[in-house]
Amino acid sequence: MSAWVYILKCADGSYYTGSTTNLEWRISQHMTGKGSKYTSSRLPVTLVYAFESNSIVESKNHEHQIKGWSRAKKEALIRGDYQDLVELSKSKSTSH
Question: What is the CATH number for 26?
Answer: 3.40.1440.10
Instruction: Provide mean pLDDT across the span 50-68.
Output: 96
**Total structural domains in the chain?**
1
The answer as to whether 94 is a domain residue is no
Query: Is the model more confident about 3 or about 87?
Result: 3
Instruction: Provide mean pLDDT across the span 29-33.
Output: 96
The answer as to whether 76 is a domain residue is no
pLDDT band at 89 (very low <50, low <70, confident <90, very high): confident
Is residue 63 a contact partner of residue 5, using CB atoms and an 8 Å limit? yes
The answer as to whether 12 is a domain residue is yes
- State the pLDDT at residue 30: 97
The answer as to whether 14 is a domain residue is yes
Tell me the whole-structure pTM to 2 decimals: 0.91
The answer as to whether 74 is a domain residue is no
The answer as to whether 41 is a domain residue is yes
Q: 17: domain range?
A: 3-69
CB atoms within 10 A of CB 55: 12
pLDDT band at 31 (very low <50, low <70, confident <90, very high): very high
Is residue 59 a contact partner of residue 18, using CB atoms and an 8 Å limit? no
The answer as to whether 28 is a domain residue is yes
Segment among 7-11, 43-47, 60-64, 87-91 with least mean pLDDT? 87-91
